Amino acid sequence: MQQVHMIINREPAEVTVDPRESLLDVLRERLDLTGTKKGCDHGQCGACTVHRDGRRVLSCLMMAVQADGAEVTTIEGLGGADGTLHPMQEAFVTHDALQCGYCTPGQIMSAVACLAEGHARDDAQIREYMSGNLCRCAAYEGIVAAVREVAGR
């Protein structure tokens, strides 16, 4: 077992983990942050996307010990401390960029990273950057519209 220290959603956290545990499993099973979804558990669907030190990562592929000393943001920590929604969350609602909602947390976390990393100049670039996040309900047009709206602000 190994001690891991992180800042999770602006709060310090310390957790003892098995070195083989994924960040996804630690977030969901030990820290009760269930907004991050387990989709494929192979890094192919994007449902588990979180930010580590401001960059998007697939938490199913990252061992929790790799996040030692890092700042991790999940969908639960994206909005304001007072519960206000992040502009991207608002845009997803406005543009009906979700249907069943299972992929939505990962989609939103990737969309925020898309903007932060400067990959939202046009629809083709947004689609390319977001292509690692799958949506079974095919809400892709709404997702692109939401990213485009926030990019235009």
| Structural domain includes residue 82 | no
**Do 120 and 68 reside in the same domain of the chain?**
no
Domain boundaries, position 124: 87-151
- Asked if residue 153 has pLDDT above 90, the reply is no
How many percent of the chain have pLDDT more than 70? 100
Closest CA relative to residue 26, chosen from 52, 54, 44: 52
Closest CA relative to residue 15, chosen from 72, 64, 59: 64
Residue 12 — very low, low, confident or very high, per pLDDT cuts 50/70/90?
A: very high
**Do 27 and 48 reside in the same domain of the chain?**
yes
**Average pLDDT score, the chain:** 96
**Do 20 and 70 reside in the same domain of the chain?**
yes
User: What would the pLDDT profile of 78-109 be if each residue is shown by its tens digit?
Assistant: 999 899 999 999 999 999 999 899 999 999 99
25: number of Cβ within 10 Å: 20
